[in-house]
Amino acid sequence: MKNKISGKDLIKLGFPKNNSINIAIGHLNRYKKKEKKEKVINELKEVMKTPEAYRLDPFWGKIIEALLQKEKTVRHQLNPQRAPYVIFGENEISDGAKHQLFESLKLPVAVAGALMPDAHSGYGLPIGGVLATRNAIIPYGVGVDIGCSMCLSIFPINATYIDGKRQFLENILKEHTKFGPKEIHKKLHDHDIFYRDEFQSIDVVKRLKEKAYKQLGTSGSGNHFVEFGEVDITDENNEWNLPLGRYIGLLSHSGSRGLGANIAMHYTRLAEKQCPLPKQVQHLAWLDMDSHDGREYWAAMSLAGDYAKACHDDIHARIAKLLGVRAVGKVQNLHNFAWKQTVNGIETIVHRKGATPARKGELGIIPGSMTAPGYIVRGRGNKNSLESASHGAGRVFSRRKCMENFTKSEMKKVLKENKVTLISGGLDEAPMAYKDIDKVMGNQLELVEVVGKFIPRIVRMDKGKK
């Protein structure tokens, strides 16, 4: 804004001489910088007449919350004892991942936790970590790629079609799937998601709308993929009433793209400022669910999760149209998200960072690697896992270790042995980087039951590291 608002201006309006002035100036200069100072001052005068009335306002609520806040920000200390937890497949999980879970369980807001059998170290919570908290949301407990998820479409076409039409199917993935930060579709699609109120009421989200519009129906880099494969239905009581047999399937792994990443970074910075923690767990800083930023993050996170679903839906709709057939079955689940859930009789926020929801009867898809099968599962609602399961096979080798330990020729040999065509994908995603998916599944028999299997045949990923 022209002639920025100063601390003196706010003091004249009745602000106390404390941190509320810094918060207000930062908020106003960030989001009202294009407006005239006089106009903003007049708006502030109206707000100051009845501040309580604006406590839940999407914009003014943050300033009013700071204005009315009486307690100073204090550094939190970890509890000496961990909250209750259970680890599944403990012998297959690194000490580093376990240690990260143990640290998170000492947070003052921790209620319970669990570690899935595909777990490995991450930032804040380990990948495969599940944490229930009391009235607190941890942005890094959800993850940077909010809404990272799986989607499987089952088509009423016999799986033998893949070998007969392999070139046709390869061309579909080459020409009609997009990966990484730069690739977008020539023809952009509209979607109901862009008319959601959050794109107007949350300033940080509003600025990301154009990027989100361009990236709809695209996939990220890293381990994101779109692939054709064979779906083997093994449960005659399956939810789609399909006869036992093998069908063509389309499986995608992606998230909320730039929208989710920017939301994660923005609210993580806010959490770390508002919730000082010991250095080793600072990534686990939380936002109070009763605070303006906590409520706003929850709304933004929910939008990002729905946007991730919209991306999958767009990918699958484009490809179904090219196949000329509608899907007869679909499985879709988030595995980087947070849910409100009752745990041990307490209302909590359950963070699943690389973990599949597995409430009783709930369907999910747990992938292996570009050569290993994925499993369609039905949740058993196990309370010890906080009704969760693994989100994949889990890495054994980091991306850097893959580049140091494997060669392109080794990777090509494994692909050939498994009859998999790889259109694009780097050595950092080599099949050898991952745990044995069958061992992982064996360690979570009490968490899910298997309904079917997905066998990859034609895979496209981002080019990755060569």
Residues 6+ positions from 315 with CB-CB distance below 8 Å: 151, 177, 217, 219, 226, 252, 254
Q: What is the pLDDT of residue 161?
A: 96
The DSSP secondary-structure symbol of 291 reads S
- Tens of pLDDT along 304-351? 999 999 999 999 999 999 999 999 999 999 999 999 999 999 999 999
Whether 260 has a pLDDT exceeding 60, the answer reads yes
Residue 134 to residue 348: CA distance in whole angstroms: 5
Q: What is the pLDDT of residue 72?
A: 63
Percent of the chain with pLDDT over 90: 80
Q: What is the pLDDT of residue 8?
A: 86
Q: What is the pLDDT of residue 89?
A: 96
Q: Is the pTM of this model over 0.85?
A: yes
Dihedral of the CA atoms 22, 262, 265, 79 (nearest 10)?
Answer: 110
CATH level 2 (architecture), domain 149-461: Alpha-Beta Complex (3.90)
Q: What is the pLDDT of residue 49?
A: 82
Query: 309: exposed, middle or buried (C-beta count within 10 Å: 0-12, 13-18, 19+)?
Result: middle
pLDDT average, residue stretch 26-45: 84
Whether 432 has a pLDDT exceeding 90, the answer reads yes
pLDDT average, residue stretch 417-428: 94
- Tens of pLDDT along 126-173? 999 999 999 999 999 999 999 999 999 999 999 999 999 999 999 999
Residue 235 to residue 231: CA distance in whole angstroms: 12
What sign for the dihedral angle of Cα 236, 237, 238, 243? positive
- Tens of pLDDT along 361-415? 999 999 999 999 999 999 999 999 999 999 999 999 999 999 999 999 999 999 9
pLDDT average, residue stretch 356-365: 98
Distance of CA 314 to CAs 268, 308, 355, Å?
29, 10, 24
Residue 383 to residue 373: CA distance in whole angstroms: 27
Please, what is the average pLDDT of the chain? Answer: 93
Instruction: Please list the residues that pair with 448 across neighbouring strands.
Output: 379
Where in the chain are the domains? 7-68, 149-461
